[in-house]
Structure 1
Amino acid sequence: MTTHKPSEAQSNDDSGPGDLPANSAGARSARRKVYAATVAAALGGLLFGFDTSVINGAVNSIQSTFSLDPAILGFTIAITLLGCTVGAWFAGQLADVWGRRPVMVLAACLFVISSIGSGFAFAVWDLMAWRIIGGLAIGIASVIAPAYIGEIAPARLRGGLSSLQQLAITLGIFLALLSDAGMARFAGGADSQLWWGLDAWRWMLLVGVIPAVVYGILSLRIPESPQYLIRRGRKEEALAVIANVTGAADPEQRYKDIEESIESERRSTYRDLRGHAFGLQPILWIGIGMAAFQQLVGINAIFYYSTTLWQSVGFSQQDSFTTSVFTATINVLLTLVAIFFVDRVGRKKLLLAGSVGMFIGLVAAAISFAQASGSGTNITLPAPWGPIALLGANLFVICFAATWGPVMWVVLGEVFPNKMRGIALGVATAFNWIFNFLVTLLFPIMSHAVGLGFVYAGFAFFAALSFWFVKALLPEVSGLELEDKSKLTRR
């Protein structure tokens, strides 16, 4: 497989193939428009992060309110991810039929419904039902945002703009944990009443309505993807988006390139994913592997259970909330580092460095928790292992946030050929949610059964495997237009 190196002229003016010169008036106008469209689409990522992490501060309250054992509690938290899997699986198909924008609006509506229903849940089965609906919305948003951004952004900006999806996810996580901490502090505890006779943990879930409404409104104001418009034969609209948003110097030629790569006479189906590598196209297996490893390293064990985790090793409830917010802040700041470096260093190098750093942090956490005494939620860490566990967990978050967190979504948004992108991205993202579900469901059960030391050792093992996977199998395709990548993947 070959890689693309920009010519000297392209390097000097920071333009990709077919782009307007970066400092021209047309390019500046297009850049503003593509930034605005990207930010609006990436708000789906903010809701993705918010809705998956807001449960963190409510876990103990949900357990006590509905009298749940660890297995049922784990399933209640994880059931959202089953909805995510279904939403992600069908999102690509819906986007190819309805368009990217209408599917974003659908996700926003589902977010609103889920937040209201979860906040007023009267039984555990009722809460599970609303969390499944929220999962459908999260799954849809997790597919549509990278697909849309990958299609709307010019090659020279795509890595950084696609990383905004992960930045939005981390901001959503941060805002969720910050609002959880603020409400718990204001009410005097997550189980205490806050406003209108509702407990603080219920308000933690209800507040998700606000970003969902903003996302829905902004989704109605962004341009449709040129790839979708071309598939539907809407040439004039597609040319307008290509010229005014993507900043192509020759919109007609870019239109022809996209049209050729899509093979617009036939809509993609699951048959397009078939290949000789265990029944699927090799590039799809790479996407599935990337999606799986991002979860198997255990990142969501940190963000779904961190408050409960730190309480279990001696932190007070308020200190646990504060520690979780601090970890989420690190997550946001280091994602900014990834956005800066992803187009300069390349996807593959960042991922390899991230795998090494995650492995070191997880090993430190595993060794620390292996020193714990007690069982269940009543365990303690002798000095100096508590601070070492905290440092190891945060080193892991730092390395994940700067590499695997955003870069995996960049890779999924751009590595598939145009023709199969929507459906292949849906399949790969569905696997991401499947493994997210398994990790989330099994974490409290395995922690209770074998101890946190062994659980974190397992995460470290998968971090080591992720290094081998990227080094051996992932192609480096930074700097190519989507149409060029389609040609490479067919070689």
Structure 2
Amino acid sequence: MLLGCAIGAFFAGRVADRWGRRSVLIVAAMLFLLSALGAGAAQAAWWFVGARVVGGFAVGAASIIAPAYIAEVAPARYRGRLATVQQIAIIGGLFCAFLSNYLLARAAGASTGTLWLHQDAWRWMFWMQALPASLFLGSLLFIPESPRFLALRRRDDEAVAVLGRLYGAGEARGKLAEISASLAGDRHRPRLSDLLDKSSGRVRPIVWVGIGLATFQQLVGINVVFYYGAVLWQAVGFSESDALRINVLSGALSIGACLVAVALIDRIGRKPLLWTGSIGMTISLALVAAAFADAGLDAGGHLVLSHAAGILALVAANVYVVFFNMSWGPAMWVMLGEMFPNQIRGSSLAVAGAAQWMSNFAITVSFPLLLTGIGLAGAYGLYAVAAALSVWFVFRCVRETRGKELEQMDG
């Protein structure tokens, strides 16, 4: 599915530049619905895998087009807060999925137990995804197309109508003039070659910054917590029920941290949040690695932490989750949606989004290998090094975008 996400992200940006942000989101919603129904109805492994890959296309497309759409319709003073809501929605969606799966499995006695219409509970777990997918699809029918896309395609009357709804009729024409000025002399059909500097032929620095932001967000290991959380805590001696409770705690802290980001991102800016998050993650990940380095082995060869080390690992890991979700979690998506010039936004998002999902895949696949090769201490040590490098990256390469209109972004 993660590879499907990378493919979906790569092609979605280019398609959105041709057919529109709203159109791509509608197609993504249809793919979400198709994936949910198909995975639940699967009668063979190839059928199930195919449905999940289709779902991956939808996730990848929505992950980059949604923040781009939010950035393009939101006034500059609200843009960071509105884009941060996406991260809250992601975490809230994960929580709802976990809760739904738990309730269905409990009602059936097990995920392989029988529920309504004599179908296994695990099938209903996938079919339940059709509800939010249908709601998403229905909601998209009532939102306007991005005015910046309309201006890019010379559909000025439609752009003015949308801008009038967003900014008021009195400001619509002036806003369109600003957008058109940013596109003047370069209003051709967007293409990947736009990412190259015309004078040197090299990839524009702003594109490398976007790729760096997308990659570092995954290199700090956050999805190890999401994908392997319960397994990880059981590996160091916590019971299954305790491990699940820790995951619930992490989820609650994640939502709280995102609310902090909503409050701060348009006040202090994106760069200070990223920098603070990088420093906090470096320290907390190093403490987690130190706690796991102190682990011993029981008779069965399983890791066992002392009481003090267990408390340190638990607290430091959750502090790490808080720092991530108040900084890199939402701020990376905010910046990718707003940092690129209008002409190259879709293509840049395609490349950065694909890099993000490929990094996600690499971290997810490599973690079991790291676990058996260098252990939890070594794995978390590597993530701490990545977080430390991100401190330098933010300081040296990232430029603040708070309060700037999208037409002020240059590449």
Global fold match (TM > 0.5): yes
Find the residue that maps to 1:477 and give its secondary structure: coil
Alignment of 1:455-474 (within 5 A): 455-474=379-398
Distance change >3 Å, CA 169–CA 109, structure 1 → 2: same
8 Å contact 1:346–1:476 — kept in the other structure? yes
**Residues 177 and 324 in structure 1, CA contact (< 8 A), matched pair in contact too:** no
**Structure 1 residue 423: Cα displacement:** 1.1
Code of the aligned partner of 1:272: D
Paired residues for 1:251-330 under 5 Å: 251-263=172-184, 265-275=187-197, 279-330=202-253
Deviates more, 1:374-383 or 1:170-179: 374-383
The answer to whether 1:444 aligns with 2:362 is no
**Distance across 2 between alignment mates of 1:191 and 1:308:** 21
Identity between Structure 1 and Structure 2 (%): 46
Aligned to 1:404: 328
> How many angstroms apart in 2 are the aligned matches of 1:117 and 1:99?
27
In structure 1, distance between residues paired with 2:59 and 2:176 = 32
Which residue type is aligned with residue 240 of structure 2? Q
2:264 to 341, 345, 354: 341
- Give the alignment partner of residue 153 of structure 1, picking from 53, 66, 74: 74
SS in 1 for 2:400: coil
145-154 or 164-173, larger mean C-alpha shift: 164-173
2:342 aligns to what?
418
Q: Residue 286 of structure 2: which of 360, 363, 370 is its match?
A: 363
Amino acid at match of 2:27: L
Q: Which 10-residue stretch deviates more, 278-287 or 110-119?
A: 110-119
Kept in 2: contact 1:177–1:325 (CA 8 A) = no
Which amino acid is the alignment partner of residue 268 of structure 1? P
1:173-203 Cα distance to aligned partner (Å, 9 max, x none): 2222232333344444445555555554443
User: 8 Å contact 2:18–2:189 — kept in the other structure?
Assistant: no
* TM-score when normalising by structure 2: 0.93
Q: Which amino acid in structure 2 is aligned with residue 208 of structure 1? A: Q
Aligned to 2:34: 113
> Which secondary structure state, in structure 1, belongs to the residue aligned with residue 303 of structure 2?
strand
Measure how far apart 1:414 and its partner are: 0.7
Equivalent residue, structure 2, for 1:428: 352
CA distance in 1, matches of 2:369, 2:37: 29
Q: Secondary structure at the match of 2:326?
A: helix
Alpha-carbon spacing, 1:326–1:199, altered in 2? closer, same or farther (3 Å): farther
After superposition, the C-alpha distances for 1:249-284 in whole angstroms (9 at most, x for unaligned) are: 432121111112134631111111013789200000
Distance 1:119 1:390, change over 3 A: farther
Q: Does 1:207 align with 2:123?
A: no
1:141 partnered with 2:65: no
Distance 2:367 2:168 in 1: 47
**Shift in alpha-carbon separation, 1:285–1:217, aligned structure 2, 3 A:** same
Gaps of 5+ in 2: none
Give the aligned partner of residue 7 of structure 2. Answer: 86
The alignment's TM-score, normalised by the length of structure 1, stands at: 0.78
Q: What is the deviation of 1:154?
A: 0.8
Say if 1:315 and 1:181 are closer, same or farther in 2 by CA, change over 3 A.
farther
Shift of 1:469: 0.1
- Aligned-residue RMSD, C-alpha: 2.2
Gaps of 5+ in 1: 1-79
> Are the structure 2 counterparts of residues 373 and 85 from structure 1 closer, same or farther at C-alpha, using a change threshold of 3 Å?
same
**Which secondary structure does the structure 1 equivalent of 2:150 belong to?**
helix
Give the Cα–Cα distance (whole angstroms) in 2 for the partners of residues 277 and 409 of structure 1: 29
